[in-house]
Amino acid sequence: MSVRRTYTVNRIDSNASRRQFKPAISPTALFVLTFTLVGIGAFLSGCSADSKQPAHAAGPRAVSVAVAPVLKQDMPVYLSGLGSVTAFNTANIKSRIDGQIMQVHVREGQTVRRGTLLVEIDSRPYAVQLEQAQAQRSRDQAQLGDAKLNLERDTALIPSGSISRQQVDTQRALVHQVEGTVNNDKALIDNAKLQIAYCHITAPFNGRVGLRQVDPGNMVHASDTTPMLVLTQLQPIAVIFTLPEDVLPTVARHMRKSTLQVDAFSRDDQTKLASGKLLTIDNQIDPSTGTAKLKAVFDNRDEQLWPNQFVNSDLLLEVRKNSTVIPSAAVQRGPQGTYVYVVKPDKTVEVRPIKVDLTQGDKTSITSGLNPGDTVVTDGQDKLQSGSTIEPRVIPNPGARHSTADPGNPAS
């Protein structure tokens, strides 16, 4: 027997339902409320992050700095000045006679030795003059011989009284006159030979031939102002440089002890060109600049120096042995004097006062405050204080050359 169950469904009027669940807040107010809650959440999240950051940064941070060791080495003492290269000898090759160039025996830029034939001028006109002078001398010598024989005959007739002494004296004077003519002929011959020699122009010293100004076939004259070519001696070569007058007594004192070395550097003061020796100090001081000129001589075998080239000249006065040396960048100056930051084994730094003996460009000699083997900070000191933790980095020595030293301080 089946049981039928009856379900009663209560139907609800849709309009009544809308009236029963009508919201109490408008949509606009709901949107404003939601936006406000989101903003408050973001603000609280930011505050939470900010509160955590100081706790993270509270620990010490290492400062990255460059360091270098303190060395025990020799310290050279230099005086530097601007110089100009000057040829040891320069000759403007000109003609001493008038004539036509027959041949130029050298090339431009050729290195020649003393006595090398450079230019040949037509010598035929002077050869003709030589022949004429020789012929005239032969004629005058014949007249001299005849005059001497007549003088001997007249002198032999004096005892017999057949000739007067006046006639004999006149004949003797004629002999002397003809002798003078013969001597003049000899001088004319020598002059003609000299003119022929002038036709062959040779190098007066070892040097390098410059650009020539004339070509074969051109006429040259002794009065010409333009040289045919210029010969310049490059080996050895000289450098003239200046130093302040205050250091001259020091330089002179060291010159009396030994020969001083001079190094020539390029215009940018980075490339060493040659090494030479100091030759002399000029005999006067320029009153307008308060400087004196010094001359150094260089072998210049590799021809790195050229006349009129500007160079930086370094005069080596002495070498101070076993000096305590640090990079000049490590030296700091403050109200209490000079100091450096010294790296301790725990990678912290301490401030240590030092006493500077001598500064030569990128190197400084220390008399007290440091020992060989210490490590000093050379870059990044502006971020440090005593006790700061560091992260050291060693910068290799770039090999920069020394620069100008204070001329009033070195080698006193």
Question: Looking at the domain assignment, is residue 402 inside a domain?
Answer: no
Alpha helix positions (H), 72-211: 124-157, 165-198
Write the CB contacts of 285 (distance below 8 Å, at least 6 apart in sequence): 245, 248, 291, 292
Question: Looking at the domain assignment, is residue 359 inside a domain?
Answer: yes
When pLDDT is cut at 50, 70 and 90, the band that residue 298 belongs to is: very high
When pLDDT is cut at 50, 70 and 90, the band that residue 16 belongs to is: very low
The pLDDT of residue 162 is 79
Kindly report which listed range (41-55, 265-279, 337-351) carries the lowest average pLDDT score: 41-55
The pLDDT of residue 392 is 86
Buried b (16+ CB within 10 A) or exposed e, 248-278: bebbeebbeeeebbbbbbeeebeeebbebeb
Give the amino acid at 401. R
Do 191 and 214 lie in one domain? The reply is no
The pLDDT of residue 381 is 86
Question: Looking at the domain assignment, is residue 185 inside a domain?
Answer: yes
Query: Full-prediction pTM beyond 0.95?
Result: no
Nearest to 75 by CA among 367, 396, 379, 377: 367
For residue 18, give both structure tokens: 């809308």
- Report the CATH number at residue 220: 2.40.50.100
Question: Looking at the domain assignment, is residue 354 inside a domain?
Answer: yes
Question: Looking at the domain assignment, is residue 27 inside a domain?
Answer: no
Do 263 and 143 lie in one domain? The reply is no
Do 212 and 263 lie in one domain? The reply is no
The pLDDT of residue 21 is 41
- Checking if the pLDDT of 402 tops 70, the result is no
The pLDDT of residue 310 is 95
The pLDDT of residue 358 is 87
Mean pLDDT of the 28-33 span = 54
Which tens digit of pLDDT belongs to each residue from 162-187? 788 888 889 899 999 999 999 999 99
- Checking if the pLDDT of 48 tops 60, the result is no
Question: Looking at the domain assignment, is residue 25 inside a domain?
Answer: no
Do 208 and 239 lie in one domain? The reply is no
When pLDDT is cut at 50, 70 and 90, the band that residue 212 belongs to is: confident
Question: Looking at the domain assignment, is residue 329 inside a domain?
Answer: yes
Do 222 and 102 lie in one domain? The reply is yes
- Report the CATH number at residue 245: 2.40.30.170
Write the CB contacts of 390 (distance below 8 Å, at least 6 apart in sequence): 62, 63, 64, 65, 67, 343, 347, 348, 349, 377, 380, 384
Do 115 and 135 lie in one domain? The reply is no
Which tens digit of pLDDT belongs to each residue from 149-163? 988 888 888 888 778
**Cβ atoms of 297 and 279 closer than 8 Å:** yes
Which tens digit of pLDDT belongs to each residue from 232-242? 999 999 999 99
Task: Give the residue from 298, 320, 342 where a domain finishes.
Answer: 320
Domains: count for the chain: 4
Question: Which residue did the predictor score with more confidence, 385 or 186?
Answer: 186
- Report the CATH number at residue 389: 2.40.420.20
* Domain region containing 102: 95-121+201-226
Identify which of 16-20, 143-147, 237-241, 377-381 has the greatest average pLDDT.
237-241
Do 263 and 306 lie in one domain? The reply is yes
